[in-house]
Chain A
């Protein structure tokens, strides 16, 4: 306990301030739809600044977990803490917290307007000044290599281009946390590589916590520092990528990563 306190203590104006090392803490969280429990997590702490890979078979509750983490869906039961603060339903408070995170979906939904207007959307929501918006937006488009699309209607882009714009639209917000729900499952190999590279760079440059759901265990292996394996709504095993892939503790984890799981 003592050790933990020292570890989490930083100097601030000569005083010791306790810094919470966790971006999310889940206590006894569960989610049910029409009486059917689809997710149930006793305890889960997500550390700041790491890249997490969430894997598990279809219907395991991975997207549900991400939606809860993004406050898109309230849990049916349990406590969720973001940066040590309880997340309750109402109020501006939640909006402020939510603005520190953002999510990219499997199928990117771009607004029916120019690429530029899409990328600036979150900045405008946060009330940035116009000249900052212009600068940040063009930087983000540059990052994803799609500057020449600035004035195109976003609905005219290909799937890969659209997903890169969705990523730029998220990155431009410099979020503390980025939640990615199978962002590459509809993309060709070239765009998969680009999305992975951009994600890693975001993490390296800004220390963003990345939580990526993926069906592709090799992608999890390439990207994640830590893996969470879900099965039938339960967190079965978590550990470093190395440990999960080379020395899984649970038979089901082993079966899943070896592609031998029947479900």
Chain B
């Protein structure tokens, strides 16, 4: 108990002092996860919107697959990306393994199903109620599509935030494809694992607190967005 307390005090001090190593790890974490979520959004939003506007029966199997992948264990994603990027893998020559790029790729793979799946549901709901109204007002096909997406925008934003929440907190995939190399591919989650193992609790706790704060911010955002969705 005393040790936890001492650790917390030390951890707070590290955060307040803006410890350079700690900051570097936090920034890399955010950089990797934000890049992954942006990439995943660029793929997942159009894909989800496209599928959400199709008759549900015609996309049933794809939808099941996406829902399954939404729960994909990060280590499995890590394993697949590892195999693809390793020396003997098809993408080996690109020499991406154990680089931030590899971590971004793995997190992108994890975020795509979430963003696609949640966008699909949001767009499908709106499609039903908006389409006839837009059409009867004389909208062209493109304008109908655009209107539906715009009407689903809050739910789509929530999908992106949820995707970020998943990837920033995962450890398995980035550990496997990033390698947790100090100053290069060490992010918050992998650093926590390592420092804990070394018994360097105050550093691990400091990162843990920051991760919690980020999770809290993400959740507040989600609540706000979803509150607005419900109000409509």
Q: B-contacting residues of A (Cβ < 8 Å)?
A: 70, 72, 95, 98-99, 102-103, 105, 109, 111-112, 121-122, 125-126, 155, 169-170, 173, 179
Contacts and interface: CB of A to CB of B under 8 A. Distances in A.
B232 A155 contact: yes
Contacts of B137: 102, 121-122, 125, 169-170, 173
Contacts of B138: 95, 98-99, 102, 122, 125-126, 173
Contacts of B130: 109, 111
Secondary structure type dominating chain A contacts: mixed
Interface in B29-44: none
Contact of B232 (A72, A112, A170): A112
A70 B136 contact: yes
Contacts of A70: 136
B133 interface: yes
Interface stretch (B95-103, B139-147, B159-167): B139-147
Contact of B143 (A72, A102, A103, A125): A125
B132 interface: yes
A89 B75 CA distance: 50
Interface of B: 129-130, 132-140, 143, 147, 150-151, 154, 231-232
B139 A125 contact: yes
Contacts of A109: 129-130, 132-133
A75 B129 CA distance: 21
Given A109-B130, A111-B147, A95 B140 contact: yes
A155 B154 CA distance: 14
B232 A103 contact: no
Given A111-B151, A112-B151, A125 B140 contact: yes
Contacts of B136: 70, 72, 98, 102-103, 179
A102 B139 CA distance: 11
11 contacts: A70-B136, A98-B136, A102-B136, A105-B132, A109-B129, A111-B147, A112-B151, A112-B232, A125-B137, A125-B140, A126-B138
Nearest to A99: B138
A105 B133 contact: yes
Of all A-B residue pairs in the complex, the 9 with the closest CB atoms, nearest first, are: A122-B137, A99-B138, A103-B136, A109-B133, A125-B139, A125-B138, A122-B138, A155-B232, A121-B137
Contacts of A173: 137-138
A99 B140 CA distance: 10
> Which among B130, B140, B154 has the greatest number of chain A C-beta atoms within 10 A?
B140
B139 A121 contact: yes
B132 to A, nearest CB: 6
Given A98-B135, A112-B154, 10 more contacts: A70-B136, A72-B135, A72-B136, A98-B138, A105-B133, A111-B133, A111-B147, A111-B150, A126-B138, A179-B136
Most A C-beta atoms less than 10 A away, residue of B132, B147, B150: B132
A96 B67 CA distance: 41
